[in-house]
Structure 1
Amino acid sequence: MGEMSGFQLGVVGALFLSVASSVSIVICNKALMTNLGFQFATTLTSWHLMVTYCSLHVALRLNFFENKPIDTKTVVLFGLLNGVSIGLLNLSLGFNSIGFYQMTKLAIIPFTVLLETLFLKKKFSQKIKFSLSILLLGVGIASVTDLQLNIVGTILSLLAIITTCIGQILTNTIQKRLNVSSTQLLYQSAPFQAAILFVSGPFVDQFLTKQNVFAYKYSTIVLGFIILSCLIAVIVNFSTFLVIGKTSPVTYQVLGHLKTCLVLGLGYTLLHDPFTSRNIIGILIAMVGMGLYSYFCTIETKRKQVGEISSLSQIKDRDTSASLLASHQDKENKNAIV
């Protein structure tokens, strides 16, 4: 019971860390890109990952965690897949309207559920599906505005959805099957994610913004925000792997939509973004969906724990009965010999 309480506390801590760091970096990046004109999102992400790797390398040297080698092919493919998914999401935003991009992000949850059901044989109850539907409806009302479709943008969005879902499912699967921690997996994969974005980032950003990241004039305040963004990104990347490893890709996506609602609210409060009654209604519906999802997940987790405890008790009872029977037979055999 003590271990289970510790695990639940760890999950809550991971969720809080993920929400706090993600909302912080969104506010920081929004100020950097909107107010200061630094719009090179893909290149900035590559810097995030490089700083994350360097920070983890220092932590490894200080013995904060133990490095656990993972099969090179697995790490390379995993790192490249995650790097490609980030690039595709940025391209999707560049080729599509904001509304269609938000729909792309919403589609990640049902597609993840579909993939886990088909390939991992994972079962989702009707209550879980119902709560996810309410959540998606609320986020859709709050964040989706116009829906302008185009062939290239649609293809990029589909590829972004597929690579993001597979990458998040693999994050959970690799940690559990290879028995590696979130820190160990992030340390192994971050260089490959950073490499592909570092090479492709300037080209992607120039294509989307018509500006060259190397020709940009870096002021002291811009450099300060970039450094702050990179430092927060270390926590974001770590908490992302931690949450997916401790929970599931679907729960992480649900958490992502909670961040969306918080960002909308904080954007209105801190940055004075436009806010309508539609945003408020959507956020409230989304919060109901998240509450139901959390409630149903908690109930199912408790049922699973009770079932596991019951199974362990039955196994112990069988072992005890077998031991008593064996002891009784030994006594009878001894008496027969005498």
Structure 2
Amino acid sequence: MGLVPAQAPPPMTPLAGGVSSDIWRVDLPAGTVCVKRALPRLKVAAVWEAPVERNRYEWEWLREAGRIAPSSVPRLVAHDVEAGCFVMGFLDPAAHPLWKAQLRDGVASETTARAVGKRLTAIHGATAGRADVRARFATDDIFYAIRLEPYLVATAARHPDLAERLHAIVARTAGTKHALVHGDVSPKNILIGPDGPIFLDAECAWYGDPAFDLAFCLNHLLLKCLWTPAATAAFLRSFDALAETYLAGVEWEARALLEERAAHLLPGLFLARVDGKSPVEYITAEADRERVRRTARPLIANPPATLAAVREAWAEALPGSVQ
């Protein structure tokens, strides 16, 4: 990429936090950057392999999102397709805290949740119905390999009585083509910057069902109730704020239809985070895993039409029945 002379490698520090890529902080004379390279096998307990060309689509997602909302992505520096890596600006954690870290500490701001929902719906809306974007992100195989299979298909194998329902959700999600999807809208991939949320880690970029992004993000707000129970009420308010703000911005299709797809996806993703290939690291007690299963399974068997129905079922399942 020509950023440094080969004979004088700069200081490089590996960064933690991801399972699908190697990421380094690199201190260049002109400033600090991050270098990211996709791995062919993800760093999880189960065997989980994925095409490394996803790095190229991540770069393209960041470029597209940056055109729509410039402050929603890091500064892009360089991209090497053959090496399967790209370089982006380094964002100081002091000024760009990780949303996941805030939630872990019980800081659940409805303002932040609304900002995430608003920015996400802006990206979806600006790419909805665009044939040029759809052609550039025809990544169905990658999305299946790193999202649908390890989450929903793998969970179906653990719950055979729900397999038909989960496979139907997979088929509908895979067949829905409305907008550019990030695919990993998780608090661990969102920095809270001075100018709003900044999205990272778009390796799952795909032109498909925007309901997946909405459900994927909301899922984390439900799960955090088990990580930091004292902030449960705030997490549920953030869930409401994000969902309401996002849905208010949906103009490319009937809001009720998108919400229904998200409401069907959400219980499956919820169950997947204890029984799929990528269980969340902070749910370690079997009693908590069972609480997730008891909530998710009936909702998969009898899918709700609204996100509020999923949220209410989870609130009732929590100690003290927080509403």
Q: Structure 1 length as normaliser, TM-score?
A: 0.26
Q: Which structure exhibits the higher relative contact order, with contacts defined as CA atoms closer than 8 Å and separated by 6 or more residues?
A: 1
The structure with more radius of gyration: 1
| Larger helix fraction of residues | 1
